[in-house]
C-alpha cells in the first residue's frame, strides 16, 4: 500500500482522513476486512492507542464493525461521514480529552511549586482573573487566563510554556461556550477553592481541588471517555 505516514497534530481526525484515502484509492473496499492494527500502525505512523480511539469513533457512527476474532470491516462510505458535524464534534471531544489529561498531569505536578512559590502579587492576579470573569460571564476566557496565571505562580518557565501550548491547542478546537449562569458560578467556585488551598499552602487539598475541577470541566464540555 502507499506511504501515508501522519506528520501533523490532530491525530484522531488525520487517522480517519487516511482511512478515507485508502477507501477512495480502492485499497480498502466497502464490506471487506480492513488492514490489521499492526499494518495500519506501520502504515500511518501512529500508536495503537490513537488508532483504537479513531476506530471507536468510527464504530459509534456505524462506519466500521468489529467481529470477534475476525477483524474490522468497513460498513459505510467514510467519505460522506467524515464531513458530518456529529463526527467532527466527536473528534474535537477526543482532542479535548487528551488536552485535559495532559493538563491534569501538568497542574498536579506543579501544584507543590505553586504552593511554595506563589507570592502576594500572584495571589492577587489569580483573584483578579476570577472576579473579572465573573463580571463578564465568560467561563471560557477565565479558564484560559486562570490556568496561565496558575502556571506563572510556579516561576518555572518550562511549565509556563507547556501550559501556554496546552491552552493554544485547546483554542484551536471548536470553542464550547458555557452560557448558563449555573455553570459560570460552578466554575468560579472551583477556581476559588483551588485558590484558597494555594493561599493556605495546602498542597494535598489543592491537588484534590484541581482534580475535582478538571472532572467537572470534562462533564461541562461533554468530554468524557465513555461518551465519545
Q: For residue 184, what pLDDT is reported?
A: 76
Domain 11-82 in this protein, CATH class: mainly alpha
Express as a percent the part of the chain with pLDDT over 90. Answer: 28
* SS3 category, 54: helix
Q: Decide: 23 and 78 in contact? Cβ < 8 Å.
A: yes
pTM for the whole structure: 0.60
User: 63-80: string of b/e by CB count within 10 Å (b at 16+)?
Assistant: bbeeeeeeebbbeeebee
Q: For residue 87, what pLDDT is reported?
A: 53
Residue 180 φ then ψ, to 5°: -75, 140
Max avg pLDDT among 77-86, 172-181, 212-221: 212-221
Q: For residue 19, what pLDDT is reported?
A: 80
Q: Look at the domain 92-227 and name its fold.
A: 1.20.120
CA gap 146, 12 in Å, rounded: 28
> Domain spans of the chain?
11-82, 92-227
Of 12, 75, 37, 14, nearest to 4 (Cα)?
14
* SS3 category, 202: coil
Mean pLDDT (whole number) for 32-61? 84
Q: For residue 113, what pLDDT is reported?
A: 96
- 180 DSSP 8-state letter: S
Amino acid at each position: 500500500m502507499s506511504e501515508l505516514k501522519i506528520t501533523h497534530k490532530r491525530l484522531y481526525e488525520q487517522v480517519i482522513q487516511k482511512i478515507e484515502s485508502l477507501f477512495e484509492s480502492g485499497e480498502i473496499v466497502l464490506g471487506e476486512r480492513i488492514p490489521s492494527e499492526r499494518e495500519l500502525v506501520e502504515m500511518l505512523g501512529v500508536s495503537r492507542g490513537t488508532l483504537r480511539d479513531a476506530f471507536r469513533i468510527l464504530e459509534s457512527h456505524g462506519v466500521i464493525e468489529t467481529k470477534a476474532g475476525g477483524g474490522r470491516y468497513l460498513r459505510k462510505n467514510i467519505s460522506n461521514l467524515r464531513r458530518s458535524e456529529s463526527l467532527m464534534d466527536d473528534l474535537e471531544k477526543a482532542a479535548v480529552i487528551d488536552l485535559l489529561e495532559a493538563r491534569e498531569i501538568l497542574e498536579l505536578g506543579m501544584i507543590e511549586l505553586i504552593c511554595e512559590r506563589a507570592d502576594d502579587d500572584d495571589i492577587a492576579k489569580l483573584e483578579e482573573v476570577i472576579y473579572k470573569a465573573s463580571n463578564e460571564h465568560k467561563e471560557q476566557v477565565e479558564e484560559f487566563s486562570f490556568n496561565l496565571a496558575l502556571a506563572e505562580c510556579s516561576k518555572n518557565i518550562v511549565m509556563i510554556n507547556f501550559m501556554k501550548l496546552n491552552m493554544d491547542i485547546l483554542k484551536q478546537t471548536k470553542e464550547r461556550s458555557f452560557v448558563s449562569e449555573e455553570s459560570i458560578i460552578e466554575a468560579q467556585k472551583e477556581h476559588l477553592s483551588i485558590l484558597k488551598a494555594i493561599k493556605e499552602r495546602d498542597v494535598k487539598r489543592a491537588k484534590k481541588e484541581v482534580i475535582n475541577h478538571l472532572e467537572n470541566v470534562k462533564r461541562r464540555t461533554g468530554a468524557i471517555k465513555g461518551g465519545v
